[in-house]
Chains A and B, each alone.
Chain A
Amino acid sequence: KQEVTQIPAALSVPEGENLVLNCSFTDSAIYNLQWFRQDPGKGLTSLLLIQSSQREQTSGRLNASLDKSSGRSTLYIAASQPGDSATYLCAGSITQGGSEKLVFGKGTKLTVNP
């Protein structure tokens, strides 16, 4: 069974701090890794997709890395802002029954305090 684990479950930091969110997966069948943010009562917003041939992706203050050999991905947020407060989810792509599916972690709830 594919499992995706996110640590920590919750994180509270002061504004301006750099932080790292962790995502680990047990199944080498996971090939792509995608990071999302979810605001309360909303859908998911895609942040970064790291495809299997890539090791990292960057978008603005966000940098995500993928190490398939160790089954880990990290999301680095630089100079955090209160607007970054949300739940961050990572999801790995697998092939199952001829379809591509996402296996989600339970998320890290981030609070950035002004």
Chain B
Amino acid sequence: GAVVSQHPSRVICKSGTSVKIECRSLDFQATTMFWYRQFPKQSLMLMATSNEGSKATYEQGVEKDKFLINHASLTLSTLTVTSAHPEDSSFYICSAKSWGTEAFFGQGTRLTVV
């Protein structure tokens, strides 16, 4: 299957700083990328959907000023957690797909805010 690369896989940051997570589709062009958050032993929670070249659509309850999403090209989307706090500590996963095709996921990023 196609490869979606997500970096970093783990990051520890101090409270109040910002962290950027990258998601790249390596061998296909993704018209849509998704960002999810996953709490321990729970399923994925969709945070936002981004289409290349347009603003991301955020799910209800997700602060768009805190979780900045940029989808600059068909192969790259970034999620920036701004002014991170310990409650933002979580597992973040990106996904990339084109309409009607398989969704491929990155390996996830474990964010710990201390």
Interface residue? B97 (CB, 8 A)? yes
Interface residue? A101 (CB, 8 A)? yes
Checking A32, A44, A49, A97 against B93 with a beta-carbon cut-off of 8 angstroms, the contacting residue is: A44
Interface residue? B80 (CB, 8 A)? no
Considering the chains assembled together, what is the distance between the CA atoms of A51 and B97 in angstroms? Answer: 14
Q: What 0/1 pattern do residues 89 to 111 of B give for CB contact below 8 A with A?
A: 00101010101111111111010
List B contacts of A49 (CB < 8 A).
Answer: 101-102
Q: What 0/1 pattern do residues 61 to 98 of B give for CB contact below 8 A with A?
A: 00000000000000000000000000000010101010
For A, the interface residue count at a CB cutoff of 8 angstroms equals 23
For B, the interface residue count at a CB cutoff of 8 angstroms equals 27
List B contacts of A99 (CB < 8 A).
Answer: 32, 49, 51, 57
Interface residue? A104 (CB, 8 A)? yes
* B residues in contact (CB < 8 Å) with A: 1, 4, 6, 32, 34, 42-44, 46, 49, 51, 57, 91, 93, 95, 97, 99-108, 110
